[in-house]
Structure 1
Amino acid sequence: MEERMEQFITYLGQVRGLSENTVLSYRRDLLHFKNYMEGELGISDFREVTPDCLEDYFCMLEQEKKPSTVSRHMCSVRALYRYLVKMYLVKEDITERLRSPGVQRDMPEVLTVEEAKALVEQPSGAGPRQLRDRAILELMYATGIKVSELVVLKVSDVNLRLGLLHCREEGKDLVIPFGNCARSALLQYLDEGRDALLAEDRCEILFVNYSGAAMTRQGVWKLIRRYGELAGIQKEVNPHSLRHAFAVHLIENGADLQSVQEMMGHAGRAATQIYAAARRPENREAYSRNHPRK
């Protein structure tokens, strides 16, 4: 992604003759887009980005940024994809279906409780990798943490006795509870799986690969996608799928928005409210039927 982005940036300056400040603005926006795709969704090629990935990205932006900022980011991403299509680097311009800021944006499809259960239960073996993968999936669904937060967790960040996870990322300091399923999976991984992966090396990081080093965000994304396929889930499955499911399923079962907001690390309630509406289409139908200003 880095190479294609730099080609586009060079094109803007040398071919289109845009000013240095304008080119820097494009670079800043597209770097943010690239980092999100790589860091949160595990995507390393613009050809792998789907319309759902774009919806996920701009849904996140609208929760955190002003409409004018979202519009600028959208223009940058659209310009990039027009260039990629023109240069035959992608097959289609997936930004054509993007809706402008302020237009009702649907959140990507949320996993049902049954689908989430099928996903996290896919790693069922007793080998070190299966124990690690089960612990990863259980913890992500139990806490709603992002993959960028997961891969930097230390063993000391997990309090198994109290069922609490200490999460630090981007200046945030969160303490998130988790239940018995995640506790059991973590305990089994720590007792029977992690040392086998570490070999001779010592490492503070909670989740490690076969080299004994910290897992990468791309590695987590690949394992989640693989288990989603094995579970037969037809929806797109990525690390954010479990974060979405965590929030929606909590709210469906009666959790208040304030608690969910704090556990997800959202700065404001508006970022959490989209989950409250994710499974309530009847609210919109009732509004359409009864409000005088339809």
Structure 2
Amino acid sequence: MGKPYANAKSTGARDRRRVKKPELPAQDADLLLRFADSQLVEQGLSTHTINAYGSDLRFFAIALQSSDTGLLAAQRADVMAFLSSRISDGSSARSAARLLSALRRFYAWCLREKLIVENPTALVSSPGMGRPLPKVITESEVQALLQAPLASEDLGLRDRAMLELLYGCGLRVSELVGLTVDQVNLNQGVMRVWGKGSKERLIPMGDVSIDWITRYMSVARPSLMRDSTDVLFLSNRGAAMTRQAFWYRIRAHGISAGIRTPLSPHVLRHAFATHLVNHDADLRVVQLLLGHSNLSTTQIYTHVASERLKSLHRAHHPRG
């Protein structure tokens, strides 16, 4: 096999000229090539993945040269110092975690090959990356999105009803497209939904959602129906709406409404939860409405609300 790391390039940030790579000790260079061969032949990894591992391992090997240490002699303290220096130099926690993943894979291989007796990455924890905050659109953007479908047309009326229900009840898209007529009780204003793990929950519907669902069921749904079915939301062919089809529709309506944030059905679910928290809804109530098993999952929306407040403060306060 050829050298899988030979294609990597290093360029200067300003003049973009090629910079010569530091030379590795022959033992370390040979070791990386043997590791690459094993990952390609034994593990079946792609050349792209192997090159990525090689680049990360080379960084580590170069860093070890300053203390006259080779890859096989590295200790836990060397790994910790390397990761710490990368973060100090501006690497993100996610990048540091990727570096550690490469080191773990390499030293696990060294251990199997009996090249070392202890794995220096065994007791090293991954840098905490935290949970990324979900994308949220504003209440005014939601209003623009809801008004985008042409409710005078059957498909537009269907889309408006689906969007109103998605935002008004915080449904998952799978729950939305899987709804049947008997799951929606318009008289009592509640909806019965089966979420993840087939867990059942009752969700109250607001007056606006009830109004649009009533209009859809009395006007558009009979026109879209081809055969007898209990599916609530139908495609233009009379079949059940799919998740992919609705994703396409919501994206098109978002473009029509002038919303720049990339939209998906889950963005509206996030908006439902965040806007409730913004209006002082009890977090446990939001948890029940979303169907979360653990309150910790729901608590992320308090962070979203906090970030929104910080953003507004920075934008509008003279001392922001």
Task: Give the TM bin, normalised by the shorter chain.
Answer: 0.5 to 0.7
Shift of 1:124: 3.1
Shift of 1:17: 1.9
Paired residue type of 1:149: E
- Number of the residue aligned with 1:271: 297
- Number of the residue aligned with 1:195: 222
Q: Secondary structure at the match of 1:167?
A: strand
Paired residue type of 2:200: D
Distance 1:124 1:136 in 2: 13
> Is 1:280 paired with 2:294?
no
Distance 1:219 1:257 in 2: 32
Identity across matched positions, percent? 40
The structure showing larger relative contact order (alpha-carbon pairs under 8 Å, at least 6 residues apart) is 1
- Number of the residue aligned with 1:43: none
CA contact (8 A) 2:151 2:160 kept: no
**CA deviation vs aligned residue, 1:248-275 (integer Å, no higher than 9, x gap):** 0011111100000011010110000000
- Number of the residue aligned with 1:125: 151
Distance 1:282 1:187 in 2: 35
Shift of 1:121: 1.5
Q: What are the within-5 Å matches in structure 2 for residues 123-272 of structure 1?
A: 123-169=149-195, 170-199=197-226, 201-272=227-298
Q: Secondary structure at the match of 1:278?
A: helix
CA contact (8 A) 2:191 2:202 kept: yes
- Number of the residue aligned with 1:116: 142
Distance 1:177 1:198 in 2: 27
Q: Secondary structure at the match of 1:176?
A: strand
- Choose between structure 1 and 2: higher helix proportion: 1
Q: Which runs of 5+ in 2 are unaligned?
A: 1-37, 46-96, 106-125, 312-320
- RMSD after superposition: 2.8
CA contact (8 A) 2:134 2:304 kept: no
Q: Which runs of 5+ in 1 are unaligned?
A: 1-12, 23-70, 80-99, 286-294
Classify 1:108/1:101 alpha carbon distance in 2 versus 1 (closer, same or farther; 3 Å): farther
Higher alpha-carbon deviation: 276-285 or 210-219: 276-285
Higher alpha-carbon deviation: 184-193 or 163-172: 163-172
- Number of the residue aligned with 2:83: none
Task: Using structure 1 for the length normalisation, give the TM-score.
Answer: 0.62
Give 4+ residue runs of structure 1 displaced > 3 Å after superposition.
13-16, 281-285
Shift of 1:105: 3.5
Classify 1:202/1:257 alpha carbon distance in 2 versus 1 (closer, same or farther; 3 Å): same
For the pair shown, the structure with the greater C-alpha radius of gyration is 2
Paired residue type of 1:134: R
Aligned residues: 198
Higher alpha-carbon deviation: 158-167 or 276-285: 276-285
